[in-house]
Copies of this chain bind each other. A is one copy, B any other.
Amino acid sequence: MAKEVTNRKENYSQWYNDLVVKADLAEQSAVRGCMVIKPYGYAIWEKMQSILDGMFKATGVQNAYFPLFIPKSFFSREAEHVAGFAKECAVVTHHRLMNDPDGRGVIVDPDAKLEEELIVRPTSETIIWSVYKNWVKSWRDLPILCNQWCNVVRWEMRTRPFLRTSEFLWQEGHTAHATAEEAEAKANEMVKIYADFARNVMAMPVIVGHKSPNERFAGALDTLTIEAMMQDGKALQAGTSHFLGQNFAKSFDVQFANAEGKLEYVWATSWGVSTRLMGALIMAHGDDNGLVLPPALAPIQVVMVPIYKTEEERLKLISVFETVKKELEAAGHSVKIDGRDTLRPGFKFAEWELKGVPVRLAMGPRDLEEGTVEVARRDTLTKENMPVEGIASKVDALLDTIQQNIYDKALAGRDTLIRKCDSWEEFKTEIQKGGFLLCHWDGTTETEQAIKDETKATIRCIPIDSVVCEEEGKCIYSGKPSHRRVVFAISY
C-alpha cells in the first residue's frame, strides 16, 4: 500500500505535514527552517510561476534581477519599514573561510570582516528604490514596472513547510509612477490578478479587501490582500499588493521632472505571492487520501495504469495508452503512463491518489477485449467505464469539469464557514469554531488590538469583493457606530 496519511479530523496539522512529505512536495533540510522543494512540488510551483508570469507581462510588467544582499544602513532609511520589519534576518558579516590552524576543517577568517554588514533580502523595496533613483529623471521614464522571481530570507522562529519558512521563493513586483492615482490603480490591478489566479487557476475562493491600518505592510499607505479559508477554519493570507505612497521615494530621494519641469517624488507599489501558495493549495483541496490538484496546476494531469498478467497483455495495453497519450498531449495535457513492472496496480492507484493526479485511466485485458477503459476522478473519487474510442476528447472535457468542480466544492465549503456575528459574547465562542466572521468594527486600532488580545482573531480584510458588507451597525466590541462589516478570522 502507499504511504498512510493522517486523517484530517484526527490531526489536521499532522495531515498537512504528511501530505507535504508523502506526496513528495518538500522536506526539511539540514538548515533550520529552510526546506528542500522536491521535483514534484517544484513542478507545481513552476506551473504557478509560468501562469502568473504571463499574467503580469500581459499588464506590461517586465522581469529584472536585483542583489540578494542589502547594506545594513539601507534598513535605517525608511523608518516605518524597519520598525515593522526586518529584525529577524540573516546577517552576512564575513567574506572568507580559512583552514582551521588546528586542522579541524574550516573556520571563518577573522581578518575578512565586512566594513558594513549585509542583510540577505527579506524583501527588496530598499535596494530597488536605491536603484530606481538612477533610472528616473523625467516623467518620460515612468512608469517603471518591474518584477523579480527570487528567494528571500526571514529568520522565522517557528516554521512550517511552505506556510512559514526562513527561506522562501516568491515574486516581488515594484512599480514607480508619476501620480498617486496611477500607483493606486496598479496596486488594485495586481491584487485582482492574484484573485483571478487564486480562483481560476488554483480553484481557490478568496475574499479581496484592504488590510486595516494595523495589518498593513511596513511603509505602506494601503495594503490589499486576498484571503483564503482553509478546511480547518483558519484564514490564510495568500497574496498582498501595497500602495506605498511616496515613502520609499522620499527615503531614497527618487524624484522626477514633471511635464512642467518641476521635481516631484515618485509614487510606488509593491506586490508579492510566494511558495506559501503551495501550502494554500494543499490545504484548500486535499482530502484524507492525499492531495487534490486542480488540473491547471497538476504536473501530471492524467495517469494511465495498465493491469496485466502477461507480457503480451502489457504490450497491448501500453500501445493503446500511447495512442491516447499522444492525443491528449496534442490537446496540451501532461500525461504519464505508469509502466513500472515491480509494483501492483493497487499500489499505483494509491500513490497517484496521494499525489493528487486529477484523472486516472486503468485498463485490463478484459477492457482490451471490450474496448473500454476505467476513468477515475480524483476530486470525487468516482469511477466510470467508458469506450476507448474517443476517450481523449472526453478526458479533455472532464479536466475542465474537474477544475470547475474543485472550485465549486471549495467555494461551498468556504461559504459554510462565513457568517455574520453581532454580539461580542457570540463572537468569542464562534471565532473558536473557525471560519470568517463578518462583524461591525468601530475602525480603531485599539478595538482591533483588544479583540486580537482576547481571541487571537485579526481583521483579515475590509472586503471590496466577494462578500457584501456595506450596512450600518454597531461595533461588536465597543458598540460604537460602524458603516460596514469587516472580516475577522484566526489565521495562519
Contact A39 B146 (CB under 8 A): yes
Contact at A82–B96, with CB atoms within 8 Å? no
Query: A88 — which chain B residues lie within 8 A by C-beta?
Result: 95-96
13 A-B pairs whose Cβ atoms sit less than 8 Å apart in the complex: A29-B131, A30-B71, A30-B131, A31-B127, A36-B65, A37-B65, A69-B167, A72-B97, A72-B106, A72-B108, A73-B105, A91-B96, A140-B342
- Report B-chain residues with C-beta under 8 Å of the C-beta of A120: 68, 92, 120
| Residues of chain B with a CB closer than 8 A to A118's CB | 31, 90
Residue in B37, B73, B94, B153 whose CB lies within 8 Å of A64: B37
- Identify the closest chain B residue to A133 (Cβ): B30
Contacts A29-B127, A96-B155 known; 9 new A-B pairs at CB < 8 A:
A29-B66, A29-B67, A34-B68, A76-B104, A82-B106, A87-B97, A88-B95, A91-B92, A91-B108
- Number of chain A residues close to chain B: CB under 8 A: 65
Name the distance in Å between A160's Cβ and chain B's nearest Cβ. Answer: 16
Verify B92–A75 contact, CB threshold 8 A.
no
Pair B87/A64 contact, Cβ less than 8 Å: no
Question: Is A422 an interface residue, CB under 8 A from the partner?
Answer: no
Report which A residues bind B (CB closer than 8 A): 27, 29-31, 34-39, 42-43, 45-46, 62-76, 82, 86-98, 104-108, 117-120, 127, 130-131, 134, 140, 146, 150-151, 153, 155, 167, 169, 342
Q: Closest residue to A343 on the B side, CB-wise?
A: B140
* Alpha-carbon gap, A127 to B34, bound state (A): 11
A94 touches B96 (CB 8 A): no
Q: Which residues of B contact A69 (CB under 8 A)?
A: 31, 34, 90, 167
Known: A62-B39, A88-B95, A89-B97. A105 touches B75 (CB 8 A): yes
A272 to chain B, nearest CB (A): 17
Chain B nearest CB from A248 CB (Å) reads 15
**What is the bound-complex CA distance between A34 and B94, given in angstroms?**
16
**Closest B residue to A35 using CB positions:** B67
Instruction: Answer whether A67 and B106 are a contact pair too, CB < 8 Å, given A91-B95, A97-B87.
Output: no
CB atoms of A97 and B105 under 8 A apart = no
* Residues of chain B with a CB closer than 8 A to A167's CB: 67-69
**Contact across chains for B68 and A42 when beta carbons are under 8 A apart:** no
8 closest A-B pairs (Cβ-Cβ)?
A76-B105, A39-B62, A34-B67, A37-B65, A91-B94, A95-B155, A93-B93, A90-B92
- Given A64-B36, A117-B108, verify A134-B87 contact (CB < 8 Å): no
Residues of B within 8 A of A169 (CB): 65
Q: How far is the CA of A72 from the CA of B94 in the complex (A)?
A: 13
A75 x B62 contact (CB < 8 A):
no
A127 touches B42 (CB 8 A): no
A36 pairs with B108, CB closer than 8 A: no
A131: shortest Cβ distance to chain B, in Å?
A: 5
* In the complex, residue of chain B having the shortest beta-carbon distance to the beta carbon of A70: B31
Does B92 contact A36, Cβ atoms closer than 8 Å?
Answer: no
Quick one: which of B43, B90, B98 contacts A95, CB cutoff 8 A? B90
| CA of A140 to CA of B308, assembled, Å | 21
Nearest residue in B to A94 (C-beta to C-beta)? B91
With both chains docked as a complex, state the minimum distance between the C-beta of A440 and any C-beta of chain B, in angstroms: 37
Closest B residue to A342 by beta carbon equals B140
In the assembled complex, which residues on chain B have CB atoms less than 8 Å from the CB atom of A92?
Answer: 90-93, 120
What is the CA–CA distance of A385 and B90 in the complex, to the nearest angstrom?
Answer: 60
Chain B: which residue is nearest A95 at the CB level?
B155
| Complex Cα spacing A461 to B87, Å | 49
In the assembled complex, the Cα of A29 lies from the Cα of B91 at a distance in Å of 18
* A272 CA to B263 CA, complexed, in Å: 47
**Nearest B residue to A40 by beta-carbon distance?**
B62
